[in-house]
Structure 1
Amino acid sequence: MLSHPEIVSRFGFGVYEADLQTGELWRAGRKIKLQSQPFKVLAVLLEKAGEVVTREELQVRVWGTNIVVDFDHSLGTAINKIRDALGDTADNPRFVETLAKRGYRFIASVTVLGGSLATKATESMNLELTAESGSAQVVLQGPPGTSSQEDELDVMRRRRRGFGFWLWIAMLVPLAVLAGLAGFYYGSRSTGPLPRIERLTRIGRIAPGVQAMESLPASATDGLRIYIPVISGGRSVLAQVDVRTGAVENLPLPSEIASATLGDLSPDGSILLLRSHLSPESEQSLWTVPVGGGSPLRVANVVAHDATWMPDGKSILYATGNQLLVSRPQDGTSSLFAKLPERAFWLRWSPDGKVLRFTLLDPIKHTLGLWEASSDGKSVRPILSNWTRPSSECCGIWTGDGKYFVFQSDRGGSSDLWRLDGRNTGEPKRVTNGPLSFVGPVTSRIGHRIFFLGLETQSLLQRYDAGRHEFVPVPGFLAEATRIEYSRDRQWVIWTDAAGKLWRAKGDGSELIQITPDSLQVFLAHWSPDGKRLAIMAKESGKAWQIYLVPADGGSPERLLRESRNAADPSWSADGQQIAFGRVTDIMGKEDGPRAIQIFDLRTRAVSTVPGSEGWFSPRWSPDGRYIAAVSLDQRKLALFDTALSTWRTIAETTVADPVWSSDGKAIFFHASSAEMQPIYRVSIPGGRLEQIANLSNFSRGDTEDYFFCGLTLESVPIVRSRTRTGNLYTLDLDGP
Structure 2
Amino acid sequence: MTFCDFFDLKELFWQQWNSMRWKIKGFEFCEHQQTLTKEHSAVRLEPMTSELLAYFCRHQNLVVSKAQLLEEVWRGRFVSDNTVSKLVTKLRKALKDDARNPAFIVTVPKRGYRFVAGASQITAAHTGDTQQTPHLPKQSKAQRYLFIFLLCAICILAWFSFLKPSVAPAVLSAKAITSNKGSEYFPSFAADGVRLTYMNHDGEKFRLYVKNTLSGEQVEIEHEKEKGVGPASWNDTGTQLVYLVGNPESCQYFIREFNGMSMSAPKLIYTCNPGSYGRIKFTHNDNLLIFAESQAQGMPYSLYSLSLDDNTTQWLPQPDIHLAGNNQFDIHPTENKLLISSPDKQQWEGFYQLDLETQQLSLLFKLNAYICCGIWSHDGQHVVLMGEHPARDIVQYTLDGSEKTVLFSGPLQLHRPERHSNRLDYVFTAFTYNVNVDEYNLADKQSVSMLNDSVDERLAVLSPDANHAAYVNLSSGNEELWLFNRNTQKRSKITHFEDGRHYLDLAWSPDQMKIAALTLNAIHVIDVKSGKAKPLPLPQKEYRGVTWSTKFTQLS
With the shorter chain as reference, the TM-score category is 0.5 to 0.7
Alignment partner of 2:339: what SS? strand
1:328 aligned residue: 307
How far residue 248 of structure 1 moved from its aligned partner, in angstroms, is: 6.3
Encode CA deviations 1:652-707: one digit per residue, 9 max, x unaligned.
xxxxxxxxxxxxxxxxxxxxxxxxxxxxxxxxxxxxxxxxxxxxxxxxxxxxxxxx
Alignment partner of 1:521: what SS? coil
Q: Distance in 2 between matches of 1:193 and 1:564?
A: 33
Residue 482 of structure 1 aligns to which amino acid in structure 2?
A: R
Alignment of 1:455 onto 2:430 = yes
Alignment partner of 2:546: what SS? strand
Summarize the alignment of residues 257-406 of structure 1 with structure 2, pairs less than 5 Å apart.
257-258=227-228, 260-262=229-231, 264-267=233-236, 268-274=238-244, 276=246, 278=248, 285-290=251-256, 292=263, 294=265, 297=268, 299-300=270-271, 305-319=278-292, 324-328=303-307, 333-341=312-320, 343-352=325-334, 354-383=335-364, 385=365, 394-397=373-376, 399=378
Q: Distance in 2 between matches of 1:471 and 1:230?
A: 32
Against the structure 1 CA distance between its residues 250 and 533, is the aligned structure 2 distance closer, same or farther, given a 3 Å change threshold? farther
Against the structure 1 CA distance between its residues 453 and 550, is the aligned structure 2 distance closer, same or farther, given a 3 Å change threshold? same
Instruction: Return the TM-score normalized by structure 1.
Output: 0.41
Q: Distance in 1 between matches of 2:528 and 2:169?
A: 48
User: Does structure 2 conserve the Cα–Cα contact (< 8 Å) formed by 1:306 and 1:318?
Assistant: yes
Q: Distance in 1 between matches of 2:533 and 2:318?
A: 39
Encode CA deviations 1:119-165: one digit per residue, 9 max, x unaligned.
xxxxxxxxxxxxxxxxxxxxxxxxxxxxxxxxxxxxxxxxxxxxxxx
Against the structure 1 CA distance between its residues 513 and 420, is the aligned structure 2 distance closer, same or farther, given a 3 Å change threshold? closer
Residue 270 of structure 2 aligns to which amino acid in structure 1?
A: V
Summarize the alignment of residues 192-207 of structure 1 with structure 2, pairs less than 5 Å apart.
197-203=174-180, 205-207=182-184
CA RMSD of aligned residues (A): 5.0
Q: What is the aligned length?
A: 374
Q: Distance in 2 between matches of 1:431 and 1:536?
A: 32
Against the structure 1 CA distance between its residues 231 and 518, is the aligned structure 2 distance closer, same or farther, given a 3 Å change threshold? same
Query: Which protein, 1 or 2, shows the higher relative CO under an 8 Å CA cutoff with sep ≥ 6?
Result: 2
Match of 1:497 among 473, 477, 493: 473
Alignment partner of 1:569: what SS? coil
Residue 340 of structure 2 aligns to which amino acid in structure 1?
A: T
Summarize the alignment of residues 160-309 of structure 1 with structure 2, pairs less than 5 Å apart.
190-191=167-168, 197-203=174-180, 205-207=182-184, 217=186, 219-221=188-190, 223=192, 224-233=194-203, 236-245=206-215, 251-255=221-225, 257-258=227-228, 260-262=229-231, 264-267=233-236, 268-274=238-244, 276=246, 278=248, 285-290=251-256, 292=263, 294=265, 297=268, 299-300=270-271, 305-309=278-282
2:25 aligned residue: none
Where in structure 1 are there 5+ consecutive unaligned residues? 1-179, 209-216, 579-601, 608-737
Against the structure 1 CA distance between its residues 366 and 560, is the aligned structure 2 distance closer, same or farther, given a 3 Å change threshold? closer
Match of 2:461 among 481, 485, 493: 485
Against the structure 1 CA distance between its residues 290 and 239, is the aligned structure 2 distance closer, same or farther, given a 3 Å change threshold? same
How far residue 495 of structure 1 moved from its aligned partner, in angstroms, is: 1.1
Instruction: Return the TM-score normalized by structure 2.
Output: 0.52
Where in structure 2 are there 5+ consecutive unaligned residues? 1-147, 160-164, 258-262, 294-299
Alignment partner of 1:316: what SS? strand
Q: Distance in 1 between matches of 2:371 and 2:382?
A: 16
Residue 177 of structure 2 aligns to which amino acid in structure 1?
A: L
User: Does structure 1 conserve the Cα–Cα contact (< 8 Å) formed by 2:374 and 2:384?
Assistant: yes
User: Does structure 1 conserve the Cα–Cα contact (< 8 Å) formed by 2:415 and 2:428?
Assistant: yes
User: Does structure 2 conserve the Cα–Cα contact (< 8 Å) formed by 1:417 and 1:439?
Assistant: no
Residue 238 of structure 1 aligns to which amino acid in structure 2?
A: L
How far residue 347 of structure 1 moved from its aligned partner, in angstroms, is: 3.1
Q: Distance in 2 between matches of 1:535 and 1:202?
A: 42
Against the structure 1 CA distance between its residues 565 and 389, is the aligned structure 2 distance closer, same or farther, given a 3 Å change threshold? closer
Q: Distance in 1 between matches of 2:348 and 2:247?
A: 24
Q: Distance in 2 between matches of 1:488 and 1:344?
A: 41
Match of 2:490 among 510, 516, 523: 510
1:8 aligned residue: none
Q: Distance in 1 between matches of 2:448 and 2:190?
A: 40
Q: Distance in 2 between matches of 1:516 and 1:471?
A: 31
Residue 290 of structure 1 aligns to which amino acid in structure 2?
A: R
How far residue 226 of structure 1 moved from its aligned partner, in angstroms, is: 1.6
How far residue 266 of structure 1 moved from its aligned partner, in angstroms, is: 3.9
Encode CA deviations 1:36-93: one digit per residue, 9 max, x unaligned.
xxxxxxxxxxxxxxxxxxxxxxxxxxxxxxxxxxxxxxxxxxxxxxxxxxxxxxxxxx
Against the structure 1 CA distance between its residues 434 and 358, is the aligned structure 2 distance closer, same or farther, given a 3 Å change threshold? same
User: Does structure 2 conserve the Cα–Cα contact (< 8 Å) formed by 1:369 and 1:391?
Assistant: no
Q: Distance in 2 between matches of 1:250 and 1:470?
A: 43
1:410 aligned residue: 387
Against the structure 1 CA distance between its residues 182 and 496, is the aligned structure 2 distance closer, same or farther, given a 3 Å change threshold? same
Against the structure 1 CA distance between its residues 474 and 253, is the aligned structure 2 distance closer, same or farther, given a 3 Å change threshold? farther
How far residue 562 of structure 1 moved from its aligned partner, in angstroms, is: 3.1
User: Does structure 1 conserve the Cα–Cα contact (< 8 Å) formed by 2:332 and 2:339?
Assistant: no
Residue 310 of structure 1 aligns to which amino acid in structure 2?
A: T
Match of 1:442 among 403, 411, 418: 418
Q: Distance in 2 between matches of 1:516 and 1:234?
A: 40
Against the structure 1 CA distance between its residues 290 and 428, is the aligned structure 2 distance closer, same or farther, given a 3 Å change threshold? same
Alignment partner of 1:432: what SS? strand
Q: Distance in 1 between matches of 2:301 and 2:435?
A: 39
How far residue 365 of structure 1 moved from its aligned partner, in angstroms, is: 4.3
Q: Distance in 1 between matches of 2:172 and 2:183?
A: 23
Q: Distance in 2 between matches of 1:434 and 1:238?
A: 27
Match of 1:568 among 531, 544, 552: 544
How far residue 457 of structure 1 moved from its aligned partner, in angstroms, is: 1.2
Encode CA deviations 1:452-510: one digit per residue, 9 max, x unaligned.
125241536375999xx999976767964123233353321111124332211311333
Against the structure 1 CA distance between its residues 275 and 559, is the aligned structure 2 distance closer, same or farther, given a 3 Å change threshold? farther
Against the structure 1 CA distance between its residues 379 and 534, is the aligned structure 2 distance closer, same or farther, given a 3 Å change threshold? same
How far residue 244 of structure 1 moved from its aligned partner, in angstroms, is: 1.4
Alignment of 1:538 onto 2:538 = no
User: Does structure 2 conserve the Cα–Cα contact (< 8 Å) formed by 1:218 and 1:228?
Assistant: yes
Encode CA deviations 1:602-625: one digit per residue, 9 max, x unaligned.
7787x7xxxxxxxxxxxxxxxxxx
Against the structure 1 CA distance between its residues 347 and 462, is the aligned structure 2 distance closer, same or farther, given a 3 Å change threshold? closer
Alignment partner of 1:335: what SS? strand
How far residue 522 of structure 1 moved from its aligned partner, in angstroms, is: 1.9
Summarize the alignment of residues 596-675 of structure 1 with structure 2, pairs less than 5 Å apart.
none
Encode CA deviations 1:288-333: one digit per residue, 9 max, x unaligned.
2537364573724666744323332223323456854323356553
Summarize the alignment of residues 60-75 of structure 1 with structure 2, pairs less than 5 Å apart.
none
Residue 221 of structure 1 aligns to which amino acid in structure 2?
A: A
User: Does structure 1 conserve the Cα–Cα contact (< 8 Å) formed by 2:434 and 2:456?
Assistant: no
User: Does structure 1 conserve the Cα–Cα contact (< 8 Å) formed by 2:353 and 2:362?
Assistant: yes
User: Does structure 2 conserve the Cα–Cα contact (< 8 Å) formed by 1:368 and 1:393?
Assistant: yes
Against the structure 1 CA distance between its residues 196 and 247, is the aligned structure 2 distance closer, same or farther, given a 3 Å change threshold? farther
